[in-house]
Amino acid sequence: MSVPVHLKKFISNLPETPGIYKFFDEKTRLLYIGKSKNLKKRVTSYFRKQSDDTHERTLRLIFHIHQIETIQTETELEALILEDNLIKKNLPPYNIKQKRYKDQVYLTVSTDDYPLVKIITSAEIDLFSKIFGPFKDKFSAENLLNILQEILLIRACSDPVPNKKCVKSSIGRCSGPCKQKISQNEYQKLIDVAISFLLGNSDSIIEIISQKITEAASELQFEEAAKWRDIRDYCLNFGIRQRFISDFRRENLIIKSSQNNQTFLFQKGKLIKIYKRKPSDKMIKNYFQIKKKNYESNSHYLMDRAYVVWVWMKRNGTEYEIC
């Protein structure tokens, strides 16, 4: 598909820099938001001859593009964060991520005498004091919740006061507060372990899982041992991610790109400085001293942003430091 005549000059003048681009139709309705480390190359690619494998949805999008807007950024990471913010704010119809954002969920811990760990949506967040996540979909959250229930035997029933005897208690999959099998204090200790894990401190959970692996192996239940090894690996990876999200919200972070010499300084979730060349430790500490402002922002919004940065870091093999 050739470039529309009225867009040729605009596209030919696009910079070869990182940024985000917006596609609009004839009625100036926003169709799609994308990001790229090379705006000119990426936008131009939409108007080249498409292959037979090009999705019909993409072809429809290209056909309706009538106007393009771009915003330049200094780095690809900055473009990723801006794209994430704009998609969540505008929900363009051609962004596949739209559905993921709508379905994104969290875990929370209730304030009952025998607390319940449950799944909530973004719309329910203000009703609860402790939230953990985000999870890209309900399946991911349910998988983790099932692991916590199986390891710690925390209850799955939703009654504020558990008094209806359930099957899980009978088969040893719940500690049984409904049958007075466990005191309130003992049950709270289990919840404290769950909360600690959801904050990124996985040592207690890993110790319990390691015992299960040892027991299964000693009884020659090798499939059971393999299952618990997979769960242990999952919990270790989840713990690392949650520690980053927790640090991202509360600490001064230094993220050094593994692909170039760029260094990013984040303060309580806000990107405050980009160094295009490797800075000295003294420069970084001095800059954080200058920027002592305490940024206030919505808690779950910061977790969403942390998740986006975490995905970028995993993709680029990049680690972070606390300053």
Give me the CATH number covering residue 24.
3.40.1440.10
Reduced DSSP (H G I as helix, E B as strand, rest coil) percent helix, strand, coil of the chain, to 5: 50, 15, 35
Domain count, the chain: 4
Residue from 205, 112, 106 nearest 155 by CA: 112
What pLDDT score was predicted for residue 1?
60
* C-alpha pair distances (Å), 127 with each of 130, 131, 156, 224: 10, 10, 20, 39
pLDDT, position 85:
87
Query: Is residue 91 located within the same domain as residue 121?
Result: no
Looking at 35, 69, 102, the residue that finishes a domain is 102
The domain in which residue 287 lies consists of: 251-322
- Structure tokens of 152? 């710690």
What is the bridge-based pairing of β-strands 263-267 and 131-135? unpaired
- Please check whether residues 146 and 220 belong to one and the same domain: no
Q: Which amino acid is at 192?
A: D
H/E element holding 105? Answer: strand 105-109
Token pair listed for 269 = 């979730």
Residue 158's pLDDT is: 79
Assess whether 150 and 108 both reside in one domain: yes
Same structural domain, 268 and 217: no
- Asked if residues 232 and 207 have their Cβ atoms less than 8 Å apart, the reply is no
* Per-residue pLDDT in tens (0 to 9) along the chain, 323 residues: 667 788 989 999 999 999 999 999 999 999 999 999 999 999 999 988 776 667 788 889 989 999 999 999 989 999 999 998 899 888 899 987 665 666 678 999 988 889 999 999 877 876 556 889 888 788 889 999 999 999 999 988 877 777 777 777 777 778 888 888 889 999 999 999 999 999 999 899 999 999 999 999 999 999 999 999 999 999 999 999 999 999 998 899 999 987 778 899 999 998 999 998 889 989 999 999 888 776 666 777 888 899 999 989 998 888 899 98
Among candidate residues 299, 317, 176, the one with its CA nearest the CA of residue 245: 299
Which of 190, 227, 184, 187 minimizes the C-alpha distance to 205?
Answer: 190
51: which DSSP letter?
P
In this prediction, residue 131 carries a pLDDT of: 87
Whether residues 123 and 182 fall in one domain? yes
Tell me: do 263 and 240 sit in the same domain. Answer: no
